[in-house]
């Protein structure tokens, strides 16, 4: 029998999905409103232990788009973005015709460098006479960025921070003996429930809003910006970005296993590290003191790009999916003309980094087998 394909990151049902979908259908809430949406939003607020209101939306990308509109970002404004990320972090900046200013990562978290961020803000003010209008910080692969420092710098210049926590639901930083969860730092933050994330709603996203007023504005914009009038009246440009209640039913079912998924992805990360410990030249993404990553994906840096590519091929021949680390935005044809600041540490990660299968459904044996393939390859070719 052919070996089953192992994917990088796939959905892991809790078993409650069918029940909650049936409840939604039986009550005829088969639309972009309904009790499952309300329960899903409440479950997220409670898990994140935040007083800030959560608004679910049709995707993480939609959440960022609305956040930028709500912050008043206009054509020609500059928005600082983490350079090493998935393209969805940057595209909404283009949707509002603002200019992305790309900032390199730093070596510990692989996320936006506070030092380069400071230089960037100062240089943009010098060059344009205006400060950037927002900063988008990402928690890559689940690892919290240096958020306390980033927020301090942003506060000095009174620039709002949007936290892209699409990959980091369940990650947190302990501050004064209290867990502060990713997505609740900064002015607002967003999550994604795409099928490959730590939990899924099949698709979907959420904005963790600053306050009720912002939440109300986001709901207004996501529902076609209907003015309160007895007829259809519109004075603002709206969007159709609401989450489906059927998707919310899936998300709600997944909330019951979120913590288990976080623990399992962490176990997988530490199992890979111990199974690959024969080769100390391999590097992993590591947590700073008081940082906890959900380790959405386990990423390994190999000593060379050639070796990384060979390992990827070797895994592929064994029906195992792996992916290079995100290609930095300044190397993307779409963003090659955007101003870039940094020392190209992101390129180093892109050239050597490989993301390994990290789904919470994987068994210990799967991880052992994948690590053995890598170990054997390195022994024979490294």
Q: What does the binding site for ligand PLP look like in residue numbers (CB under 6 A)?
A: 59-61, 85-86, 88-89, 138, 164, 166-167, 192, 194, 205
> Residue 254 in contact with residue 14, Cβ under 8 Å?
yes
Kindly tell me which of 85 and 214 has the beta carbon lying closer to ligand PLP: 85
| Minimum gap (Å) between residue 258 Cβ and ligand PLP | 16
| Minimum gap (Å) between residue 48 Cβ and ligand PLP | 17
Kindly tell me which of 14 and 200 has the beta carbon lying closer to ligand PLP: 200
Beta bridge partners, 78, equal: 99
DSSP secondary structure string, 282-343? -EE--PPTTEE---SSEEEE-S-HHHHHHHHHHHHHTTB--EE----GGGSGGGTTS-EES-
Kindly tell me which of 141 and 282 has the beta carbon lying closer to ligand PLP: 141
| Minimum gap (Å) between residue 361 Cβ and ligand PLP | 19
| Minimum gap (Å) between residue 330 Cβ and ligand PLP | 16
d(CA 239, CA 70): 12
Kindly tell me which of 146 and 271 has the beta carbon lying closer to ligand PLP: 146
Residue nearest to ligand PLP (CB): 60
| Minimum gap (Å) between residue 245 Cβ and ligand PLP | 17
| Minimum gap (Å) between residue 142 Cβ and ligand PLP | 10
> Residue 95 in contact with residue 151, Cβ under 8 Å?
no
Kindly tell me which of 61 and 109 has the beta carbon lying closer to ligand PLP: 61
Angle between helix 147-157 and 114-128 (nearest 10) = 20
Kindly tell me which of 208 and 371 has the beta carbon lying closer to ligand PLP: 208
* Lookup result for tokens 């960022």: 64
| Minimum gap (Å) between residue 175 Cβ and ligand PLP | 23
Kindly tell me which of 79 and 166 has the beta carbon lying closer to ligand PLP: 166
**Nearest C-alpha neighbor of 305 from the set 349, 335, 270:** 349
* Other CB atoms within 10 Å distance of the CB of residue 254: 26
What are the CB-based long-range contacts (under 8 Å, 24+) for 148-153? 148/173, 148/175, 148/185, 149/114, 150/112, 150/114, 150/117, 150/186, 151/185, 151/186, 153/114, 153/117, 153/118, 153/121
């Amino acid at each position: 029998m052919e070996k089953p394909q192992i994917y990088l990151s796939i959905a892991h049902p809790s078993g409650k999905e069918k029940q909650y979908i049936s409840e939604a259908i039986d009550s005829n809430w088969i639309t972009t409103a309904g009790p499952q949406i309300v329960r899903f939003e409440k479950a997220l607020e409670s898990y994140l232990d935040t007083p800030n209101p959560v608004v679910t939306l049709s995707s993480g990308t939609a959440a960022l788009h609305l956040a930028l509109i709500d912050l008043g970002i206009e054509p020609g404004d500059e928005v600082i973005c983490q350079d090493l990320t998935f393209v969805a972090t940057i595209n909404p900046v283009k949707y509002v015709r603002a200019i992305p200013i790309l900032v390199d990562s730093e070596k510990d978290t692989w996320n936006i460098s506070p030092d380069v961020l400071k230089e960037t803000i100062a240089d943009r003010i010098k060059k344009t006479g205006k400060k950037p209008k927002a900063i988008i910080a990402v928690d890559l692969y689940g690892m919290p960025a240096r958020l306390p420092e980033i927020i301090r710098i942003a506060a000095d210049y009174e620039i709002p921070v949007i936290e892209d926590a699409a990959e980091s639901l369940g990650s947190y930083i302990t501050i004064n003996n209290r867990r502060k969860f990713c997505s609740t730092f900064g002015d607002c933050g967003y999550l994604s429930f795409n099928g490959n994330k730590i939990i899924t709603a099949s698709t979907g996203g959420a904005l963790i809003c600053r306050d009720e007023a912002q939440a109300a504005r986001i709901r207004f914009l996501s529902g076609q910006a209907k003015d309160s009038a007895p007829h259809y009246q519109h004075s603002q440009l709206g969007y159709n970005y609401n989450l489906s209640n059927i998707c919310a039913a899936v998300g709600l079912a997944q909330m019951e296993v979120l913590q288990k998924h976080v623990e399992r992805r962490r176990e997988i990360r530490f199992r890979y590290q111990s199974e690959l410990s024969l080769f100390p030249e391999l590097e992993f993404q590591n947590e700073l003191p008081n940082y906890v990553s959900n380790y959405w994906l386990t990423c390994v840096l190999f000593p060379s790009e050639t070796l990384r590519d060979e390992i990827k091929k070797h895994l592929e021949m064994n029906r195992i999916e792996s992916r290079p680390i995100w290609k930095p935005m300044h190397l993307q044809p779409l963003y090659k003309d955007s101003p870039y600041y940094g020392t190209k540490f992101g390129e180093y990660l892109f050239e050597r980094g490989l993301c390994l299968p990290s789904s919470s459904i994987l068994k210990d044996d799967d991880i052992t087998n994948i690590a053995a393939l890598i170990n054997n390859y390195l022994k024979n070719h490294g």
